[in-house]
Amino acid sequence: MAERVALITGGAKGIGRAVALDLAGRGWSVAICYRKSAQEAADVVEAVQKKGSNGLALQCDVSNSKAAVAMVERVKELWGRIDSLINCAGPYHRVDILKESVDGWRLMFDNNLHPVFYLSQAVIPGMIERKWGRIICFSMANADQLIAQPQLTAHYIAKVGLLVLARTLARIAAPHGITVNAISPGFIDSGSAPKEELETMAKRIPAGYVGALDDAVSTVRFLLSDEARYVNGANIHLSGGWGI
């Protein structure tokens, strides 16, 4: 997998950061995008470069279709290609559905679902030309259960939509050597949730513990590899049995 190029949204923190560093250690050039975490993004690029790989951080509001496409073009101008798009950005907020604002509702779709559409449309043509590509989306562990989510309604629906989008893109891209898959985490200790909350949730996880960043990284690594070339349109539960 050496000498390939990855574009990672939400790459300044959490799973995105961990994936960026792992790929850098394997010879990939890594471009990450961020919205507000400038210092964290700079730290990631520095760490990537220390591993001997090319690193790039781009500030971008991927909810803006023109900005998302311009970011793709920038990476292609610098490095000539994008072999993998890894969609790690996925903000959420908790609010009762009856108290949700119109802006808050739209925000969940604009930041979780729509960017994957914009970016996939932008990167797939180049992947078709090279007859190889990998796109990975992050949903959530119980999204395929279609259960009620009174506190996370818009976010949850967006994550359900990601599964449909991933399968659709997989269907049309498969003839060109491109795979599109989803990873659906349950509770992962990525630094975004309080330790106390994770410890409480561990009691509800069949495996008995909260997942680590390495669990997410190894799953991404597999889906990017040629060993996973026949895995397409899949939704991998990364949850220790929670949410199934």
Amino acid 2: pLDDT: 54
Taking residues 206-227, what's their average pLDDT?
97
Could you report the per-residue pLDDT of 82-112, keeping only the tens digit for each?
Answer: 999 999 998 899 999 999 999 999 999 999 9
Question: SS3 for 141?
Answer: coil
Domains of the chain, residue spans:
5-238
Architecture of domain 5-238: 3-Layer(aba) Sandwich (3.40)
Q: Is the pLDDT of residue 1 over 70?
A: no
pLDDT band at 3 (very low <50, low <70, confident <90, very high): confident
Query: Residue 26, Cβ neighbours under 10 Å: how many?
Result: 15
Mean model confidence pLDDT for the chain: 96
The DSSP element (H or E) to which 59 belongs, if any, is strand 55-59
Nearest to 161 by CA among 178, 144, 180, 181: 144
Could you report the per-residue pLDDT of 40-76, keeping only the tens digit for each?
Answer: 999 999 999 999 999 999 999 999 999 999 999 999 9
Taking residues 160-173, what's their average pLDDT?
98
Amino acid 194: pLDDT: 76
Amino acid 197: pLDDT: 82
The percentage of the chain sitting over the pLDDT mark of 90, rounded to a whole number, equals 92
Q: Is the pLDDT of residue 192 over 80?
A: no
Taking residues 226-241, what's their average pLDDT?
97
